[in-house]
Amino acid sequence: MTTLTDTLLDPILAADPAGPRITWYDDVSGARIELSAVTLANWAAKTANMVRDEFGLLPGGRVAVLLPAHWQSAAVLLGAWWAGAEVVLEPDDADLALVTVDRLDEVADAAEVAVLSLDAFGRPVPDLPVGVTDYATHVRVHGDQFRPAGDGGPVLDGRTADEVVAAARDAAAAAGITGADRVLSSRDWSTPQALIEGLLAVLAVGASLVQVSNPDPAATDRRAESEKITARLDG
């Protein structure tokens, strides 16, 4: 059975596996990370293997993703969907929660918790409580290929993979985004609709995303020129 991740990544991997797919900036730290479709797929596969093999989630399990718009968040989301999980974007009755350390208190009831530092060099989070997993440390040991066991049903906001892809393509059309575009965005992904419009719409049509955290307005025009931006999503 085809998962949401397969539907999003397979056409991109077939058409342009090595070209930039997600480029992430942080205007406070000055970090810039660029991922090709292959690299994004490898990170998603590592996450999917961790979700399934380390945390024991079966298709249909619920994964709370409480993360900002970031390249690692994209890998986490795609990995959770590859493993057949339903993603929720708020503290909820989840089998697994993937969070930043400042949101640990919100997921005290989750069966399993993994924390992301979101550090550009993959540094772990120090001094985590007993029973909480450091994502950066653990995800590295998992394989960068994944074979899904099936789609568990709803994947986001009660919608199936087909419904989410349809909504993402509609959002891309409404924003005028095509597969030829390089899209600049500083939108958050904190709600299902924001996630669909800010990330999934770009992937669903095969476009390329430049996602900026803590954007500096003075850098926008220069970045648009250097990254060859052809479309923008307002923050």
Per cent of the chain over pLDDT 90 is 94
pLDDT value of residue 152:
72
Tokens of 60: 């249909």
Q: How many helices (H) and strands (E) would you count in the chain?
A: 8, 10
Q: What is the pLDDT of residues 61-75, one digit of tens each?
A: 999 999 999 999 999
Q: What is the pLDDT of residues 171-183, one digit of tens each?
A: 999 999 999 999 9
Per-residue pLDDT band for 235 (boundaries 50, 70, 90) equals low
Q: Is the pLDDT of residue 151 over 90?
A: no
Q: With CA atoms as reference, report the closest residue to 36 among 11, 17, 62.
A: 17
Classify strands 20-26 and 31-36 as parallel, antiparallel or unpaired: antiparallel
Q: What is the pLDDT of residues 86-97, one digit of tens each?
A: 999 999 889 999
